[in-house]
Amino acid sequence: MGLALGGGGVRGMAHILVLELLDEVKLKPVVIAGTSIGAIIGSLYASGMPGKDIRELVSRHFRKSGEPLRDVIRKLAALLRWIGPPKARLGRGGGLSSDRFLGHLLEAVCTERFEDLEIPLLVVAADFWAAKEVVFESGKLLPAIRSSMAVPGVFAPVTLDGRVLVDGGLLNPVPYDHLRERCDLTIAVDVCSSRISDDQALPNVLEALLGAFDIMQTAALKVKIGLHPPDIYVRPQVGNIPIFDFARAEEVFEQAQPAIEDLRRQIRPWVRAPRLVHSG
């Protein structure tokens, strides 16, 4: 079984519920592919951390964040407080540096290289100038994950091996297509925005930028699924939570629960199968 975890900011906390369910039914991926927040959660799981431990890690740090902040920029600062006082810096790319956040992440992962992970991991980024996907599956983890989560206008692009890299969601928001030749079952988890709003208010500049990013990802994924769908498609309906409002992770868990119960029904026949063969 191969697992693809998509991008979507705080909505990616729903990935943790998927991992908890897989642990519960003892269905272990032979390969994981991730984009942006999916790459982050995927790296934790691929390192050997069970879903319940990842949930505890997230809840311990974000449940204490206090009242929701008033705008996305301050909510991003709350995310960065996970690893201490914010030391974000603006660079030529016009975004914040993710170094300290991911440095703390790798302490939890307890490895620096893809080769040391317990489960093979693919991390998807986008080459800004060539407009092509870049898929990492070997070498150092940190640069790959930094590249995959470099949301334009929020996190600074990453320069690596002569390329300028940005968030993989620009080209492949849920990279299940990279798993087909490696396993006999593909599960794709889509946490793109559900585009739900109570008041239909005009967005501010950053909300408009991130909202446009969501719309683009959703449209691209719809076309891909129409042509070559995954075996199992999971789309938690998470709305009214800004992309970087990590103080509301528990709300994501609550809203995503119906999709997890649907996934439980979909994987039941596979759980009963003798085994899932790794063909890669």
Query: What's the rounded Cα separation, in Å, for the pair 63 and 92?
Result: 33
Dig out the tokens for 68 from the structure: 């929701």
Specify the pLDDT at position 89: 44
Higher pLDDT, 136 or 280: 136
Q: How far is CA 8 from CA 84, 182, 210, 260, 273, in A?
A: 23, 25, 10, 17, 32
Eight-state DSSP code of residue 116: G
Q: What rounded mean pLDDT belongs to the chain?
A: 83
Active site residue 36: yes
Segment 258-264 shows an average pLDDT of: 97
Angle at which helix 37-46 crosses helix 51-62, to 10 degrees, equals 130
Specify the pLDDT at position 131: 96
How many C-beta atoms surround the C-beta of residue 178 within 10 A? 18
Angle at which helix 72-80 crosses helix 99-109, to 10 degrees, equals 40
Chain centroid to Cα 145, Å, comes to 10
Inform me whether the pLDDT recorded for 79 exceeds 60: no
The string of pLDDT tens digits covering residues 100-115 is 556 555 567 778 899 9
Contacts of 114 (CB under 8 A, 6+ apart): 120, 121, 136, 137, 138, 139, 140, 141, 144
Q: Which of 36, 43, 65, 148 is catalytic?
A: 36
Pairing of strands 232-234, 186-189: parallel
In degrees and rounded to multiples of 5, residue 274 shows phi and psi of: -55, -45
243 in Cβ contact with 195 (< 8 Å): no
With cut-offs at 50, 70 and 90, classify the pLDDT of residue 83: very low
Higher pLDDT, 20 or 56: 20
Q: Which of 47, 167, 190, 193 is catalytic?
A: 167
pTM of structure = 0.85
- CA-only gyration radius of the chain, Å: 17
The string of pLDDT tens digits covering residues 137-186 is 999 998 999 999 998 878 889 999 999 999 999 999 999 999 999 999 99
* For the ranges 118-132, 146-160, 259-273, the one whose mean pLDDT is highest: 118-132
Question: Dihedral of CA 80/156/177/49: which sign?
Answer: negative
The string of pLDDT tens digits covering residues 181-228 is 999 999 999 998 765 556 677 888 877 888 888 888 889 899 999 999
Polymer length in residues for the chain: 280
Higher pLDDT, 174 or 247: 174
Active site residue 127: no
Segment 25-48 shows an average pLDDT of: 95
Specify the DSSP element, H or E, that contains 32.
strand 31-35
Place of tokens 């600062």: 77
Query: What's the rounded Cα separation, in Å, for the pair 196 and 44?
Result: 29
